[in-house]
């Protein structure tokens, strides 16, 4: 199962909104087939592993990180192929949270020996984005920030490039290539004019979501170099002429209702979920970070902390409305590790 989990990782960034899945087939304690889900809409991990195993699959054991599908979707049901080739036992990491997937029941009914929950914790961690999307039809949201040791993301003049080292920046670019979308607020666009690409690594560029209630984004903004990858979330305050201009360039424009004078992020998440965007990393400033946490759309934080002090400057998170320390938001499952000279803190909300 450990090998199956490693194989599954090869599909990260290519299978969303489908899950990451890896599969290993063993016969007489020897691996006869390996496979993983390579791309959304293509063959599932089990099929790829069975194709490699060929006739050796009969009487073998199939280890798979996620419950095999038993329904027709973009591909035929994996359970039918598993039964047809004569697999004798299936070992599953985690059950699929998608209610239409009943593969374990189908396999039991067809007389295949079954074990479930093997390295389940690791399998669920690997597919945390998929689990959130399937259960809520909303994307899994990461709030990312790079800051000094005293919590500043910019100086008093607004200067912020670069607080963290190249290794940390490269890691962020890798994350971008693995996620469906990056989200920023209009203030970040106006101040930094970011590209939000994966130029430091090999990988596809994600969608870019700009939260811009009055459509102030400049037509020559760098992130508009590929308009087909840009989604602007605006409101009824935006002029129809501006909306039309961006639509004609190939930009997707969503008109979202406001809440408290700002784009309602929960409504935005619903709309993005309908577009099959299953994961987002927020790379905005303090205001958008705070709004994401206040509105409870954020699932996870990634804070990169550089070994330097700035003193007076802009903090990583804006006003959360907390007046007493004992009302502070308690983070869960906090871990830390070094990336180059910087420290990465990862935690869940």
3-state secondary structure at position 272: helix
Q: What confidence tier does 71 reach under pLDDT thresholds 50, 70, 90?
A: confident
d(CA 68, CA 66): 6
Q: What is the mean pLDDT of residues 319-337?
A: 95
Q: What is the mean pLDDT of residues 44-52?
A: 97
Residues with Cβ within 8 Å of residue 142, at least 6 apart in sequence: 175, 179, 279, 280, 281, 282, 298, 299, 300, 301, 302
Q: What is the mean pLDDT of residues 261-275?
A: 96
Helices (H), 205-279: 240-248, 265-274
d(CA 93, CA 115): 9
pLDDT tens-digit profile of 294-317?
999 999 999 999 999 999 999 999
pLDDT tens-digit profile of 190-238?
999 999 999 999 889 999 999 999 999 999 999 999 999 999 999 999 9
Q: Is 267 left (phi over 0), alpha (psi -120 to 50) or beta?
A: alpha
Q: Give me the pLDDT at residue 331, please.
A: 96
- Residues, the chain: 349
- Would you tell me how many other CB atoms lie within 10 Å of the CB of residue 75? 15
Residues with Cβ within 8 Å of residue 54, at least 6 apart in sequence: 33
DSSP 14-51: TSTTSPP-EEEEEETTEEEEEEE--STTS--HHHHHHH
Q: What confidence tier does 76 reach under pLDDT thresholds 50, 70, 90?
A: confident
Residues with Cβ within 8 Å of residue 169, at least 6 apart in sequence: 162, 200
Q: What confidence tier does 19 reach under pLDDT thresholds 50, 70, 90?
A: very high
How many alpha carbons fall within 13 Å on the CB side of residue 228?
Answer: 1
Q: What confidence tier does 66 reach under pLDDT thresholds 50, 70, 90?
A: very high
Q: Give me the pLDDT at residue 277, please.
A: 97
- Would you tell me how many other CB atoms lie within 10 Å of the CB of residue 329? 12
Predicted TM-score (pTM) of the model is: 0.93
Give bridge partners of residue 210 from the DSSP assignment.
184, 232
Average pLDDT, the chain: 95
Peptide bond into 17 cis (omega under 30): yes
Residue 160, pLDDT above cutoff 90:
no
Residue with tokens 């691996």: 31
Percent of the chain predicted with pLDDT > 70: 100
d(CA 200, CA 198): 6
Q: Which residues are catalytic?
A: 46
Is 156 exposed, middle or buried, given 0-12, 13-18 or 19+ CB atoms closer than 10 A?
Answer: exposed
Residue 75, pLDDT above cutoff 80:
no
d(CA 132, CA 140): 6
Q: What confidence tier does 283 reach under pLDDT thresholds 50, 70, 90?
A: very high
Q: What is the largest CA-CA distance in the chain?
A: 69
Residue 103, pLDDT above cutoff 80:
yes
């Amino acid at each position: 199962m450990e090998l199956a989990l490693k194989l599954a990782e090869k599909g990260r960034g290519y299978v969303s909104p489908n899950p990451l899945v890896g599969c290993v087939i063993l016969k007489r304690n020897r691996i006869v087939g390996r496979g993983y889900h390579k791309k959304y809409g293509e063959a599932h991990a089990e099929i790829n592993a069975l194709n490699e195993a060929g006739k050796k699959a009969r009487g073998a054991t199939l280890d798979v990180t996620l419950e095999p599908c038993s329904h027709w979707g973009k591909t035929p049901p994996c359970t039918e192929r598993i039964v047809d080739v004569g697999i004798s036992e299936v070992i599953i990491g985690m059950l699929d949270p998608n209610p239409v997937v009943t593969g374990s029941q189908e396999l039991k009914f067809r007389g295949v020996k079954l074990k479930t929950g093997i390295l389940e914790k690791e399998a669920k961690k690997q597919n945390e984005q998929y689990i959130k999307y399937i259960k809520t039809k909303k994307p899994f949201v990461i709030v990312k920030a790079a800051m000094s040791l005293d919590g500043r993301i910019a100086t008093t003049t607004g200067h912020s490039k670069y607080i963290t080292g190249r290794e940390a920046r490269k890691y962020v670019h890798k994350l971008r290539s693995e996620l469906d979308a990056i989200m920023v607020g209009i203030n970040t666009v106006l101040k930094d004019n970011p590209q939000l690409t994966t130029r430091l690594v090999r990988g596809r560029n994600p969608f870019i979501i700009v939260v811009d209630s009055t459509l102030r984004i400049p037509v020559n903004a760098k992130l508009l170099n590929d308009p087909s990858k840009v989604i602007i979330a605006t409101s009824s305050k935006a002029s129809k002429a501006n909306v039309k201009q961006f639509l004609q360039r190939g930009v997707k424009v969503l008109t979202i209702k406001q809440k408290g004078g700002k784009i309602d992020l929960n409504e935005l998440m619903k709309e993005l979920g309908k577009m099959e965007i299953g994961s987002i990393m927020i790379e905005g400033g303090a205001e958008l970070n705070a709004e994401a946490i206040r509105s409870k759309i954020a699932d996870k934080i990634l804070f990169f902390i550089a070994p330097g002090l700035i003193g007076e400057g802009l903090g990583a998170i804006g006003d959360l409305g907390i007046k007493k320390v004992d009302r502070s938001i308690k983070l869960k499952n906090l871990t830390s590790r070094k990336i180059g000279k910087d420290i990465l803190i990862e935690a869940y909300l």
